[in-house]
Structure 1
């Protein structure tokens, strides 16, 4: 049992930490948003009295102020390992970090071991915030920040959930299998990081391609967005294309539009800029929205009959999909690169 003096200190400390926890979580959200770092969640919690008392007794703490550093705990869950590193750097510039009590479990494990990985920082708000009224009496309090990827978080939750009993001390055969799966999870975590880097590198590569070089580029969601930027400059229009639906990409390829150059050949002024105030043309079709007050988009559900073009019959009105010019010596030449007529 704790004596009255430590109990009094702990009650006062918990009350102050109840103010600190949302302040730290809010600061982290603002900093990450300002630096455009994506994250899944940022959550904070303040230990209650019974939980703190149990830890003090179990750890045999004698100096509560210096040893009890997790009355406030904030957890940041990211998508990629690269984001963990970026957030770690920002934490060091945003707060005062107690390096002695902070740790990186991945580094502690070393290169030859696998297991639970997470990055923990013990921090204070720092002296620079002492004069701010919203941080009055909070700047000297220590708190912990934990950073994990989504996969690291899932593994940690399973390993520490007593109902699953995935902690240490398992039978040798089961423990070996557990270690194997932990290693596989680590590989996947790293693979996602590599893929994200390759996507960024691909974007950078096509961003500097000339129109001729871009013509030889595969038609995909990234190259189409790059081509859309080119059309914006060429026609002085704005194309609101945050993402390219997979069904549109599938239709392009089904009709032989496998490269950006194939789209250039069927593009026309009418297709790209159908008229002032119109929402037809490329941006409408790529996003799959109704055009010019029409009741439905050509790719909506419902029975349709393919007409006027040779190609795979997907039950789609292909005249609305690519547009046809009947004036060119009887030939039906596709007009609309995006698949909608204004």
Structure 2
């Protein structure tokens, strides 16, 4: 089995998941990290190989079934598959010069993976990255409910306003959205059907949020604590837009308790 990742740093996360006995049904028998085992003067493939066993089902002889997981970056995978086809499993008579050409590419593979990780780390450290990631998550989730993506600029502005008013980080709200949308699909579908842009009751002024992906975030926040959300938003321009969603969720009384 092969797992292909975009970033070299993701390989360690997958290894940790397999080694976490509370999460993984597999037993780790052997870990071969080719990056750690190679000599500094060598140009060698740096993939991560993990030997695993699984107790059930077992073989016809009652033995535990074993298999290997190869974890590679996209760059490592491209090199390994090409080298395997043309050099390792290739024809006879390949010159050392040609073999060295393939080996030299490994330096570029290593450099690419290092620089990509550095670049992603730099972007991820930006405050705006959290808002951007939450906005994309909301758009992707909205698509699963066949919702319009609405205005992305409005989504990011509403997210920033909610984070500021609630004093919460966007990545914290991203986790909230992920968990809520997975377990409350019926509620979200009901809101879309009753006051969404395709419903007979839709009013663009009153139901603007119901036509935007951040409706999912608002629903998750109402479900978490409608009273607190109403208290925080009471003096905000978002308050009147959240009211119809609170009403559809049966949270109107808690949300509007200050009125």
Higher RCO, 1 or 2 (CA under 8 Å, sep at least 6)?
Answer: 2
TM-score by length of 1: 0.36
TM-score by length of 2: 0.47
Q: Higher helix fraction: Structure 1 or Structure 2?
A: 2
Larger Rg: 1
